[in-house]
Amino acid sequence: MEKLSHIIAARVLKKDWKVVKVARSGPLISHLFFADDLILFGEASVQQAMVMKNSLEEFCELSGQQLICGATRSADMRNYLGVPLVQERVTKAMYRGVLTTKLPQALCEDIDKSSKICLPKRLGGLGTKKACLMNQAMLSKASWRIVAGDSGLWATMLSKKYLRGTCCFNAYDDNCTLASSSWKGLIVGNF
């Protein structure tokens, strides 16, 4: 997969591959690898689709792997690895079992009371903390990583898009209604 990354980077350098920017001063993104998944980013045009296809074919030729065109398409492209990709109001149904953003209080309460997971182990439970407390801790940790200057792609993208060069989470309060649910969760985690 490293070779594919080099092929894509070469096409980006030659300006054949038109990359995506999350924010004006944000990082350029052409591809992401995660486990055995590959996500390609580029301009939505037939020409760019051909550039991507040619890059994949070059990789297959060099690696001996095969490109499968016409693979099964999912009618539901709203989730990736169980995480909602939509930018809409957070609901209980949307985040059932996923702790990636500020969860609704009612969902936290359902998680805590619908099973014995919060009971101590000696009483037959798993001894886990309350869902709302764990969600708040996760959001606080993620917020701290951004404030501390984490160099990861996720932190860089969010910082460039929402903080715009400041180190204060209030920087986006004026337009908070336009923010993603993930950013709104990080604001909650910061306080």
Q: What is the pTM of this model?
A: 0.52
Q: What is the rounded distance in angstroms from the CA atom of residue 49 to the CA atom of residue 108?
A: 42
Q: Which of 39-43, 61-65, 69-73, 160-164 has the lowest mean pLDDT?
A: 69-73
What is the pLDDT confidence band of residue 171, given thresholds at 50, 70 and 90?
Answer: low
pLDDT at 58: 92
DSSP bridge pairs for 37: 34
Cα-Cα-Cα-Cα dihedral sign, residues 76, 80, 81, 82? negative
The domains of the chain are located at: 2-63, 87-104+132-189
Asked whether residue 70 carries a pLDDT value surpassing 50, the answer given is no
Is the pLDDT at 19 greater than 80, yes or no?
A: yes
CA atoms within 13 A on the CB side of 106: 6
